[in-house]
Amino acid sequence: MTQTLLSIGHGYSARELARTLGPGWRVIGTTRSPDRAEALRAEGVAPLIWPGSELGPALAQATHLLTSVPPGQGGDPVLAALGDALRAARHLRWVGYLSTTGVYGDHGGGWVDETSALTPATERGRARVTAEAGWAALGLPLHVFRLAGIYGPGRSPLDKLRDGTAQRIVKPGQVFSRIHVADIAQVLAASIARPNPGAIYNVADDEPAPPQDVIAFAAAMLGLPVPPEIPFDQADLGPMARSFYAESKRVRNDRIKTELGVHLRHPDYRAGLAALFEGEATG
């Protein structure tokens, strides 16, 4: 039997999931861009321009739903537009919400897991906490995925080094957790195969690391000069980038392994960057 995934905000991670699901699945993906709609169609995804199109028929056809849309100043736009229809969508077997580890806030480099208090340090993080609660209140078979920093093809330190935008910004004690997009897709697919409504999963690799170490490793891999260190208080960063440095934590990922049986394909940044580099060489 064909299963149908309605993917609202069908972006980088959701497109990787669509490729992972494979035969037996029909994927309907929303996008704001007519040009991107054509690209999705070429990938075998049925595109919908949204806002602009009525999602009611697609929601009625869906067996599974994934939302990747972040909250804005007015809250979660999907909940605002579709809240009543979603509350009535009792036919859905699985609902996934892509959140962020930013909901935990700053822990001074300490470890957090899915039971840690939600103490976000940024407006963006606080909006995510509110959005998670809004989705949970719908009464659907919800699964929340708190994603660490995403990287993958076209979005990695390798690309930043090549285009000259990479910076080695150093803030003492700062560490980030990361996750390769292929591992996000396999976590989502594993959850779909083994649903557990109400579950929350941290989606991060095994090795949180200082950002300057990752840039240095990528530069060595490419045979490029390692960018000089820039003290954080001297770095030219926009408000969004600077806000990331307001929080330092290490994210535990035990639950995706014990509950979903996931074996990370890229358990640390070295393995992930090496796979990207080798993929470029053979692609």
In this structure, what are the phi and psi dihedrals at residue 221, rounded to the nearest 5 degrees? Answer: -65, -40
Q: Which of 131, 263, 185 is nearest to 12 (CA)?
A: 185
DSSP code for 171: -
Confidence of residue 162 (pLDDT cuts 50, 70, 90): very high
CB atoms inside a 10 Å sphere around CB 123: 11
Domain spanning 3-152+177-205+249-265, CATH architecture: 3-Layer(aba) Sandwich (3.40)
pLDDT per position as a tens digit, 84-140 = 999 999 999 999 999 999 999 999 999 999 999 999 988 999 999 999 999 999 999
**Cβ atoms 124, 170 nearer than 8 A:** no
- Tell me the per-residue pLDDT of 199-247, one tens digit each, with 9 for 90 and over: 999 999 999 999 999 999 999 999 999 999 999 998 888 888 888 888 9
For 12-68, the pLDDT digits (tens) are 999 999 999 988 999 999 999 888 999 999 999 999 999 877 899 999 999 999 999
Calpha distance 34→69 (Å, rounded): 18
> Are residues 168 and 215 in contact, defined by beta-carbon separation less than 8 angstroms?
yes
